[in-house]
Amino acid sequence: MRHLVSHFFKTELQQILLFYFVISLLISQTLDQASPRVLLTSGVKLFAAAYQLPIGQTCMLLYDIYI
């Protein structure tokens, strides 16, 4: 999984931002501030746009990291 992350997120800053996103997703789900579906949808769209990846590939990447 680390190889997969470093392949798409080449700089350390990008990897830190990805880690921050996953942690904030877990925290917000725990605190029930927003529905997981809304968070996942907006998060996937944000990463797909920021890193110019297809939505499907972004979903698979985030799913691998989330699990």
Distance CA 7, CA 34 (A): 31
Quick: pLDDT tens for 32-42.
555 666 666 77
d(CA 67, CA 63): 6
pTM of the model: 0.38
- What pLDDT digit, counting tens, does each position of 20-61 carry? 777 777 666 655 555 666 666 777 777 777 777 787 777 777
Q: What CA–CA distance (Å, rounded) separates 51 from 59?
A: 13
**pLDDT of amino acid 60:** 76
